[in-house]
Amino acid sequence: MKLARELWDSLFESLVGLGSVTRFLLRLIAASPRALLRLDLVAQQVYNCGALSLVIIMLSGLFVGMVLGLQGFQLLQRFGSEEALGTAATIGLVKELGPVVTALLFAGRAGTALASELGLMRATDQISAMEMMAVDPIRRVVVPRFLGGVIAMPLLAAIFSVIGIYGAQLVGVQIMGVDSGSFWSQMRAAVGLSDIYEGIVKSCIFGITCSLIAVYEGYYAMPTAEGVGRATTRTVVTSAVVILFLDYLITAAFL
């Protein structure tokens, strides 16, 4: 009986949470056109979310690509078709690893920064102070951060994929000795614009998801040190689960 009660309560709570996230998203979308008038604020957040994540994205992309090159080569060699390495690595990176790994890293690097920043603003009453000065904190603080993340994420994913392809080429062609010509020509023959398109759609959706979860958790964080910490943790955990779930949905939709 008690268990059923608790189950019901947690279900109820998650439903309320889902509704409140959705309403928050609608508020952000409604406030977006006017926030775009203050482009400098958005640009600053593109810098914070995007430019500052470049190093981690590029390094991870390089290593993911190199591992793909090694593993792909080992596997394809068994079938005597090492030349397909370019195709395999590119499709894997552009459609799956690029958007997903970038989104996970983005949640860890930029999402946590957003959540803790907003949470700390909440905890130190900066948000209340803005409301008191008749400045809409959503428009002034939250929407630029959200939009910054939404803009930065697809670009980061594209950079990740390109660096990854370079990494795969580095291992496959330079070290393992796959023919450079067939690496690229088989890739060009097999990869279609629709594959790239799928990657872009995925990374855009992940960008919206990650940024939304981060600003939501931060904005509604409990105004205590513990609350900020919890908001940061929840950002990463929720983002990771939602991204992987959405990834399955989008992949299925594109098949």
Partner 1 sequence: MATRKSTTLNLGTGTFVLLGFAALFFLTTQTTSRGINFFANPPHYELTAKFDNIGDLKVGAPVSMSGVEMGRVTKIGFNSKEYKAVVTLRIDARYSQIPTDSDAAIYTQGLLGGKYIGLTAGGAETYLKDKDQIDFTQSAFVLENLIGQVLANFVKSSGTSDKSNKSDAPAAETPKATEKRK
Specify whether the CB–CB gap between 52 and 131 falls below 8 A: no
Asked if 100 contacts 243 with a C-beta cutoff of 8 angstroms, the reply is: yes
Q: Rounded to 5, what percent of the chain is helix, strand, coil?
A: 90, 0, 10
CA angle 150, 153, 159 (to 5 degrees): 150
CB atoms within 10 A of CB 254: 14
Which lies closer to partner 1 via its Cβ, residue 25 or residue 56?
A: 56
Asked whether 50 and 156 are in contact (CB, 8 A), the reply is: yes
Of 24 and 146, the one with the shorter C-beta distance to partner 1 is 146
Shortest reach from residue 153's CB to partner 1, in Å? 10
Looking at beta carbons only, is 25 or 204 nearer to partner 1? Answer: 204
User: Please, which residue, 53 or 239, has the CB nearer to partner 1?
Assistant: 53
In the complex with partner 1, the residue whose CB is nearer, 112 or 186, is: 186
Residues 6+ apart with CB under 8 A from 118: 127, 141, 142, 145, 215, 218, 219, 221
Minimum gap (Å) between residue 188 Cβ and partner 1: 5
Minimum gap (Å) between residue 65 Cβ and partner 1: 13
The residues of the shown chain that bind partner 1, judged by CB under 8 A, are: 43-44, 46-47, 50-52, 54, 79-81, 83-84, 90, 94, 152, 154-156, 158-159, 161-162, 165, 185-193, 195-196, 199-200
CB 90 → partner 1: shortest distance, Å?
5
- In the complex, minimum distance from the CB of residue 55 to partner 1, in angstroms, rounded to a whole number: 11
